[in-house]
Structure 1
Amino acid sequence: MRTPPATGIWRAGNRVALLENGEEYFERAFAAIAEARQEVLLETFILFEDKVGLELQRRLVRAARRGVNVQVLVDGYGSPGFSEPFLTELDNAGVTLRVFDPHRPLLGMRMHIFRRMHRKLLVVDAQTAFVGGINYGADHLHDFGPTSKQDYAVELQGPVVADIHAFAAASLRNGYGPLRPSPDVAASARGQATVSFAVRDNDRHTTDIERAYREAIRAARQEIVLANAYFFPGYGFLRDLRHAARRGVRVTLLVQGQPDMPIAMSAARSLYRHLVADGIRIFEYGQRAFHGKVALVDQDWATVGSSNLDPLSLSLNLEANVFIRDAAFNQDLRQRLERLRERHCRPIDPECLPAPGGLRLPAPVLYHMLRRFPAWAGLLPAHTPKVVLMAPANGDAADSPVAEP
C-alpha cells in the first residue's frame, strides 16, 4: 500500500512572511488581533503574565468587547496558572480560555511533562494565520537579557489559512483537531508561495512532521540547513541526513551553544562524532538561548513551526509546522541563518572532538532507546489528556475548571 504524503494538501497562491524573534512577531500578531472583526483563535504552549502576556490580554479583551469571538487554548504544563484578576478581566470581556491537560503540582513540581500541547497558532478572521515557535512571554524580546530566546514564526495569507483555521477551530475543545483539508478554500491568492500545514498528534498524525522532513532530506540535491533548538532525532532521521552528506549535499546543522536546558545540548553533542565523520558542518549558537525550529532544503523548500527534532516533539508533543515551497522565502530564511552563523556561532572542529569513553552501546541501539524513552515513560501512568474551560476563582486557575457549556 502506498504511504500517504506526510503533509496536508499543498495550497498555491499564499503570501508568507518570515518573522524573527518577538520584536517582529508580537508587532504583527497584536496588530492582526487589533484589526479582528469576527474571530480570534489562539493556541500557545506558554502564556506568561509579564509585559507581553499582559499586552496580549489587553488586545484580546478589546477584541472581545467589540464583539469578536475570542477563543484561547494554553498548555497546562507550559502555562501552569494565572492570577484571578487576569482571568476575571478575560472572563468579563467574554474571552473563552481553555487549558490543555492541567494538573496540580506535586510538591511544587509540575510532573506532566509528556503529551504537552506545544503548538503556537493564531488565526484571525479565517484570513490571516501565524505559525511558529514563539510563545507569549517577554523572554522572546532582546531586552529580556542574556537568557532571551532566538526564534522564528511566519505570517500567512491565502488558501492555506482555511486548512489552519479548520484545524484550530476543531482543536480548541480537545486539543486534537482533525487534520482534514478544508473544503472552504475560497480565500483569494495572496502571493506566490505553495504551502502545506502539518501537525503531529498522538492519534492519526504521529509521524507526519518527521516524515515531511525526511522526504525533503532524501530528495535534497545541493543543500540542507537544519536550525533546531533541541536536536536528537531517531536513527532513521540521522541515517537520511548522513546519506545526504555522503552523496555530496552540503549539510549544515545549527544548534544551541547557550542552552536553556543543558541536557539537550549534551544529547546533541553525543551525535557530533557520527555527523562530522560524514562531512556535516555543525555550528553552536552562543549569543543567547536558541529556540528556533526551522529548516531549508535546496532553493525552494523550507519549514517553520513548533516541532523540535527531539524525542518529546517527535514522539509525544502536539506540534504544528508549515512547509513552504517558495524561492524568495527560502532565500530570506537562508540569509538570516547565514548572518546568525557568521556573527554568533562557533563552528565545531572535528579535530577537537573529545574521544568517546566508557561503556558504549551500538549506535542504532542507543538512538532507538533514547528516541523511544519518552513514549515508554508517558505510559506510566497512562492517561488521556483533557481540555478544561477555565473561570475566575480564588487561587490558581488550574484548580478552577468548569464544565463545558
Structure 2
Amino acid sequence: MYYLFYILLALALAFFSIVSAGHALINKRDPRSSVGWIITCLVFPLVGPLAYWGMGVNRIYSRARRWHRRGKPAPRLQHPEAPQVVAPLPEELRFLRELRVLSDRVVSSPLSPGNAIEPLENGEDAYPAMLEAIAAAKRSVHLCTYIFDGDETGRRFVHELKEAVQRGVVVRVIVDSLGEKYSRTTAAELLKGTGVRFARFLPLRPGGYLNLRNHRKILVVDGTLGFTGGMNIGDRHLSRSGERYVRDLHFRVVGPVVTDLEATFLDDWRFATGELLQAPLYPQELPGRALVRAVSDGPDKEFRKLNWIILGAISCARQRVMIVTPYFIPDRALISALVTAALRGVAVVLVLPGKNNLPFVQWATRAYLWELLQHGIRVYLQPPPFVHTKFMTVDGSWSLIGSANLDPRSLRLNFELNLEVYDVRFAQLLEHHCIQAMAGSHQTTLKEVDSRPLPTKLRDGAAKLFSPYL
C-alpha cells in the first residue's frame, strides 16, 4: 500500500515538473530564462515548479488584459479644451525623427510641448521642494515611491501629508510592499490615522510576487506640478547620513506631461486597490520649450518599451552617448547597440559607481566591461559615496531620465516611469553633470579588467551567469 502511495506521489511530482517545464518552454521569450526554469523544474521536483509558478509566471500581464476585455481601460487624462497636438521637432532635433516615430508607435502617451524640467540634486534640493509643494496643495496629492523610510525625512513627509488632509486635500500614497520592508517603522504605520489613503503595491505573501515590484517615483500635486526621478524618501539621500549616504538626481516637472504622470499614478492606484478614478482635469501652462513624453513600462505591458527606446536612441546617435547608471547589467542587444555605435565613431561614455551597494551586481557588471572597453567605450568609476543617479543623453539633444536602471530587473520585471526629453538646453545640462562626474572618477582600462586575479574573474563570471535574475 505504501509503495503504491509513493509511486503515485512520484508520478504526480513528475507530471507537475513536466507541465511546468512545458509552460516555461512555450511562454518564456528569453531563451536563457526558459532554459533556467526548465532545468529548475526538472531537477528540483516540487520545489522547482513551485518557485516557477510563484516567481516565474507573469500573471500581472494577464490581469491587465482582463481589465481591458471588461471594457475598463486604465484612465488616460486629456483636457477637453486642449486636444492632442502632434508637436513637430525643432530643426536642430530633426535627426531624431526616427526615434520619435518609434516612440509614437510603442508609447500611448503623446510627446507634449511646452514643458520645463529642473534637476534637483540629492535630498538637500529635492525634499524641500517636494515638501513645499505638498504644503501648498489645494486639491490633491498623489505620491508613489518604492521606499518610504520611517526616519526623520519620512516623518517630515508624513507631517505635511497629514496637514494637507486636514486642509481638505485628497491625499493618496502608494508604497511598494517590498520597498516598505527597508524600514523598521513602515510608511503604513506612520500614516495610520492621518486620513491619508494608503495602498501597498503587490503585498508580499506566500506564493506571491517577489519580483514585479513598483520602482516608480512620482509626486503630483494638484494635477499641475510633478516630481520624478530615481530618489526614494529617506535620510539616506542627505549628506549628513554618513556611510549610508546615497547621491542622486530628482526632477521637478511642470507642463502638460504632468497629466501623464498623474495618469500613471492612477493606473497604479487602480492596480493596487481596484478603484478606478478619473481625476479632475486642469488646464496646463506651457512654462518651457521641452518636448517631453512619459514612458511607463512594466510587466503588464505587451512591449519592452523602454528597452526599444534606449536601443533606438543609441542607433540615432551621431556624436556621443553618455550614460550614468548605478546598476549596469546589459543584455546582448544593448551590448551590440553600444559597440556598434562606438564602431561608427560615436563617443560612448559609461559612468558607474566605483563601489556598488550590491556587490554581486558589481561582480556581474565587471564581467561585461572587457567587451565594451576593447571597442573604445570609455568607462568611469565614481568614488564613494554610492551614486544612484541615472540618466542618458544623445548628442546633447535628447535625454532619458526617471526610475529605470540598465539591468534586467528594470527593463523586464519592474514597473518603471521615465521621461524622454527632446530639448537641447536640458540635455546639455545633464551632459555637464556627467562631465563633472567623469572629472572626479577613475577611468578604468582594458588592462585593469584583464589583470584581475583568476579567483576574481571566476567570481565575476559566476555572478554574470545570474544576470537575467539580478
Name the TM tier (shorter chain): 0.7 to 0.9
Which residue does 2:385 correspond to in 1? 288
Aligned residue for 2:265, secondary structure, equals helix
Match of 1:268 among 365, 369, 376: 365
Match of 2:408 among 311, 329, 347: 311
In 1, Cα distance between equivalents of 2:378 and 2:384 = 19
| TM-score between both structures, scaled by the size of structure 1 | 0.82
Match of 1:68 among 141, 159, 169: 169
Consecutive unaligned residues in structure 2, runs of 5 or more: 1-100
In 2, Cα distance between equivalents of 1:232 and 1:88 = 35
Closer, same or farther: CA 257–60 of 1 in aligned 2, 3 Å: same
Which residue does 1:115 correspond to in 2? 212
Across the aligned residues of Structure 1 and Structure 2, the Cα RMSD in angstroms comes to 2.8
Aligned residue for 1:212, secondary structure, equals helix
Which residue does 2:270 correspond to in 1? 173
Q: What does the per-residue CA deviation read over 1:215-257, in whole Å, with 9 as the maximum and x for residues that have no partner?
A: 1111000110110010012110110111001101110000111
In 1, Cα distance between equivalents of 2:318 and 2:280 = 35
The structure having more radius of gyration, on CA atoms, is 2
Closer, same or farther: CA 238–96 of 1 in aligned 2, 3 Å: same
User: Would you tell me which structure has more helix in proportion to its own residues?
Assistant: 2
Which residue does 2:374 correspond to in 1? 277
Q: What does the per-residue CA deviation read over 1:81-124, in whole Å, with 9 as the maximum and x for residues that have no partner?
A: 87889756634331011111222599xxxx95411111111111
Closer, same or farther: CA 73–112 of 1 in aligned 2, 3 Å: same
Which residue does 1:382 correspond to in 2? none
In the alignment, is the contact (CA less than 8 A) between 1:80 and 1:102 conserved in 2? no
In 1, Cα distance between equivalents of 2:283 and 2:148 = 33
The CA deviation at 1:372 is 3.9
**1:153-168 equivalent positions in 2, closer than 5 A:** 153-168=250-265
Which residue does 1:352 correspond to in 2? 448
Identity among equivalent positions (%) equals: 31
Match of 2:300 among 200, 203, 218: 203
Aligned residue for 1:204, secondary structure, equals coil
Indicate whether 1:337 and 2:438 are aligned: no
| TM-score between both structures, scaled by the size of structure 2 | 0.71
Closer, same or farther: CA 287–88 of 1 in aligned 2, 3 Å: closer
**1:315-330 equivalent positions in 2, closer than 5 A:** 315-330=412-427
Indicate whether 1:57 and 2:158 are aligned: yes
Indicate whether 1:39 and 2:135 are aligned: no
Aligned residue for 1:309, secondary structure, equals coil
Which residue does 2:337 correspond to in 1? 240
The farther-off stretch of 314-323 and 166-175 is: 166-175
Closer, same or farther: CA 13–250 of 1 in aligned 2, 3 Å: same
The CA deviation at 1:130 is 0.9
Indicate whether 1:103 and 2:201 are aligned: no
Aligned-partner residue type, residue 351 of structure 1? K
In the alignment, is the contact (CA less than 8 A) between 1:122 and 1:130 conserved in 2? yes
Indicate whether 1:125 and 2:222 are aligned: yes
In 2, Cα distance between equivalents of 1:27 and 1:322 = 22
The CA deviation at 1:175 is 4.8
In 2, Cα distance between equivalents of 1:213 and 1:167 = 20
Which residue does 2:313 correspond to in 1? 216
Consecutive unaligned residues in structure 1, runs of 5 or more: 375-405
Which residue does 2:53 correspond to in 1? none
The farther-off stretch of 319-328 and 167-176 is: 167-176
Which residue does 1:22 correspond to in 2? 123
Q: What does the per-residue CA deviation read over 1:345-373, in whole Å, with 9 as the maximum and x for residues that have no partner?
A: 11102222225869x99xxxx98x75544
The CA deviation at 1:16 is 0.7
| Number of residue equivalences | 358
Aligned residue for 1:278, secondary structure, equals coil
Aligned residue for 2:233, secondary structure, equals coil
Aligned residue for 1:79, secondary structure, equals helix
In 2, Cα distance between equivalents of 1:83 and 1:6 = 40
Indicate whether 1:231 and 2:328 are aligned: yes
The farther-off stretch of 220-229 and 186-195 is: 186-195
Closer, same or farther: CA 146–341 of 1 in aligned 2, 3 Å: farther
Closer, same or farther: CA 256–85 of 1 in aligned 2, 3 Å: closer
